[in-house]
Amino acid sequence: MADITQTCTQCGKKFLIIDQEQEFLKKKTLPLPTLCPTDRQARRLAGRGERTLHKTTCQECGATMIASYDPAKATSKILCKTCYLKYFETHEMVS
């Protein structure tokens, strides 16, 4: 099989479907892609939901940090890595 050049149905950019990809798709009885790799990746990521990072301070030592938890909505303490690890040195892990 020779490499195939396709045009993305979403953005109109040309992309290449290499021989190995064609063989894989044929073996799995899947159709050739109609979206370029960038648009396929964007489609996959869209289903995950967006992550937001928040600048905050550790509620134990006051160090400035970035967390994926919104401090305004957090129901438990937000700790920096150092304080988080210290916490588990002195407390039992929940199992």
28-45 pLDDT tens trace: 999 999 999 999 999 988
Q: What are the distances in angstroms from CA 88 to CA 10, 33, 58, 82, 85?
A: 49, 48, 16, 10, 5
Is this prediction's pTM over 0.85? Answer: no
User: Could you give the CA distance from residue 18 to residue 34 in angstroms, rounded to a whole number?
Assistant: 14
pLDDT of 95: 62
Residue 4 and residue 15 in contact, taking contact as beta carbons nearer than 8 Å: no
User: Could you give the CA distance from residue 89 to residue 85 in angstroms, rounded to a whole number?
Assistant: 7
User: Which pLDDT band, with edges at 50, 70 and 90, does 92 fall under?
Assistant: confident
The per-residue pLDDT of the chain, averaged, comes to 91
- Count CB neighbours of 58 within 10 A: 18
Instruction: Tell whether the torsion through CA atoms of 10, 11, 15 and 21 is positive or negative.
Output: negative
